[in-house]
Amino acid sequence: MMQPQPKFSEPWHAQVFALTVHLNEAGHFDWPDWATRFGATLKQHGLARELDGGDDYFAAWLETLEHFLASMGMAETQDVLMTKRAWEEAYLSTPHGAPVQLPD
């Protein structure tokens, strides 16, 4: 019997999920360790694992991934912040309907 495929309400939800699964499958961390850290982030924000997978759930997922990668030395916190700011500036200055592009 085929497993049901997860459904995501936003493209970025699927992307951060897929990135996390890829990093796990590539051997960068064990899934139980990930689940423990993610559960702690949800608890910190007063959220539950039973959330419907909306923005609050995936914002917590992304926060966990960012902190996890920083703790492993795979992503420097300052680099993550600079990239977030660049994306924010790019999408705020992009005309509606046009693709968002980061400057080189």
Q: At 87, which helix (H) or strand (E)? A: helix 77-92
List the chain domain ranges. Answer: 11-92
| Residue 29 to residue 32: CA distance in whole angstroms | 9
60 near 15, Cβ under 8 Å?
Answer: no
Contact in structure between 47 and 56 (CB atoms under 8 Å): yes
* pLDDT 10s digits, 32-79: 999 999 999 988 888 765 566 678 888 999 999 999 999 988 888 888
Pair 82, 71: CB distance under 8 Å: no
> Tens of pLDDT along 5-25?
667 888 889 999 999 999 999
**pTM of this structure:** 0.75
Tokens of 39: 């559960």
> What is the structure's pLDDT at 32?
96
